[in-house]
Amino acid sequence: MRKFVFTCGDINGIGPEIVIKTLNRIYRNKNTCIYFVCPSNVFSETIRLIKPKFKYEIVKKLDKSSIAPVQVIDIGNSRITPGKPTAASGKTSFESIKHAFELTSQKLADALITAPISKTAFNLAGISFPGHTELLAEWSCSKNFVMMFLSKNMRAALLTIHHPIKKISQLLTKEHLRKSLDTITLSLKNDLNIPHPRIAVLGLNPHAGENGLIGDEEEKIIKPLIKTFNRNIEGPFSPDAFFASKKYKDFDLILGMYHDQVLIPFKMINFSSGVNFTAGLNIVRTSPDHGVAYDIAWKNRADEGSIFEAYKYARLISFNRKKNEKNKNKTV
């Protein structure tokens, strides 16, 4: 029996809606059990909007004896204010993540799929983490973690995540770059079964520094570090020409130096099918590659395509990890 846990995300956004829509697409799989961590009143209001096709049971804690294909784990009622970040929605999304993480880390679920959260709501609730990635990394005690983005058309990763542009150059070090490339390579091999991954590294500056004429990070940090790896890692590439010429198709993954450098082209290509995956954690965690979409929240207009793909990648990655771990143990 495969087991997966979904969070509700920000309850004032589209999170509950896209989870229910996803469960309506996967409920026929008899060998799968789903846990949905969500306030019972939010779940009840959501299924008024979207009729559930699956059988469910609302419980206060995970019930191992339940035969329901979906268990809604109630974390207490929360006030719904559609389309707005609030302290209540920030606290609820945090509690949902915390509960779901505990289930996954205790191996009661194979993987965690997180619905979108609001950083503004987190801040209103007094929660100081900028996002899922940093929060889960701390709880997992993972120092070497990387935000990756997966799709059939393109895979990408970020060297830096939620940092102001003015700090990117300071965070770009040989050690940081080396650890990120190591984490990415290991994840591509173990999580996605790519035995010899080819990785493209983008430059930081326009024209990838133009041989030191426009910034020197490429000459002092990126090029020397890449030379220490095998031929499967190439760069630094000038981002504009790299994406314009569709050179990303020649590589298994592209590593960008900062958030928008990679996320703009990735979302243009995969907005309804891209998946956010955190490499380097001791659990499997995926999510959609979009935000809370307050403008269409609670209107039954949200597209669940991205979180559905996140669920499929969670199945694939958790299966690959278990399989590779078994093979590893056999050879020891």
Q: Are 19 and 6 in contact (CB under 8 A)?
A: yes
Ranges of each domain in the chain: 1-142+281-332, 144-271
Please give the CATH architecture assigned to the domain spanning 1-142+281-332.
Answer: 3-Layer(aba) Sandwich (3.40)
Q: What's the pLDDT band for 251 if we cut at 50, 70, 90?
A: very high
Buried b vs exposed e over 290-314: b needs ≥16 C-beta within 10 Å? bebbbeebbeeebbbbbbbbbbbbb
What pLDDT is recorded for position 263?
93
What pLDDT is recorded for position 131?
80
Q: Are 174 and 224 in contact (CB under 8 A)?
A: yes
Name the token pair of 180. Answer: 């990120």
Say if 1-142+281-332 and 144-271 have the same CATH topology: yes
Q: Are 17 and 11 in contact (CB under 8 A)?
A: no
Q: What's the pLDDT band for 330 if we cut at 50, 70, 90?
A: low
Q: Across residues 105-113, what is the average pLDDT?
A: 97
Res 287 pLDDT > 70: yes
Dihedral sign of CA atoms 291, 296, 300, 301 in order: negative
Q: What's the pLDDT band for 143 if we cut at 50, 70, 90?
A: confident
pLDDT tens digits for range 76-108: 999 999 999 999 999 999 999 999 999 999 999
How far is residue 127's CA from residue 147's CA, in Å, rounded to a whole number? 20
* Annotation: CATH topology of 144-271: Isopropylmalate Dehydrogenase (3.40.718)
What pLDDT is recorded for position 271?
78
Strands (E), 138-252: 146-150, 156-158, 199-202, 233-237
Q: Are 14 and 89 in contact (CB under 8 A)?
A: no
Res 328 pLDDT > 80: no
